[in-house]
Chain A
Amino acid sequence: NAGVTQTPKFQVLKTGQSMTLQCAQDMNHNSMYWYRQDPGMGLRLIYYSASEGTTDKGEVPNGYNVSRLNKREFSLRLESAAPSQTSVYFCASSEQGAGTEAFFGQGTRLTVV
């Protein structure tokens, strides 16, 4: 039972470098999300995809782009990493619609130096 799988688990980038965080879910969920978790700030929504083929901004989208590659996969791209993007990134998925339970991956710990 894999659930939500994120890769990589850890990454160190230099300022200005780019990278893509990968996320895949095997629960046939329609909706997928990217959150970041920072000390003292809690988890904040970066982007989400309500269904395959759609994406929309969350609370803190600046500096990020996303791609919903297919129903299973939702990637998050940092085009030019900044130290302020040092964080733990979580991918989540849920069934579409109100009142549905969200399931989270194990996270990617990203450090930008």
Chain B
Amino acid sequence: KQEVTQIPAALSVPEGENLVLNCSFTDSAIYNLQWFRQDPGKGLTSLLLIQSSQREQTSGRLNASLDKSSGRSTLYIAASQPGDSATYLCAAPLGTTDSWGKLQFGAGTQVVVTP
């Protein structure tokens, strides 16, 4: 079974600083890895999806890398803003031959960006 870990559980940075969020997974034979954002009391918003064939995926100030050999993904958020305050979750498929998109989630990193 795929296990996903996110460290740290919480992070506080001043506005303008770059954010680095870590995600590790136990089964390196994954199809993809997805990063989500969750605001308090809200649903999950998909940020980036990295396919197993990719090493990086970028969207605006967000950049996610994937290193299957080491079982790690990193989400970088450049020049953080107070609006980036949220919980960030990573998720990987439950099984290597699973083609139905069933996801195993990390517990998330709660980010606070102070003005």
Contact = CB atoms under 8 A, between A and B. Distances in A.
Partners in one complex: yes
Interface of A: 4, 31, 33, 40-45, 48, 50, 58-59, 90, 92, 94-107, 109
By size class, the interface of chain B is 20 to 34
A104 B44 contact: yes
B51 A99 contact: yes
13 contacts: A33-B101, A33-B102, A42-B105, A42-B107, A43-B89, A45-B94, A50-B100, A97-B99, A98-B99, A99-B51, A101-B49, A104-B36, A109-B41
Nearest to A3: B43
Contacts, number: 69
Nearest to B99: A98
A63 B45 CA distance: 28
Interface string B27-45: 0000110101000011111
Interface in B54-109: 89, 91, 93-94, 98-103, 105-108
Contacts of B99: 96-98
A104 B100 contact: no
A71 to B, nearest CB: 15
B46 interface: yes
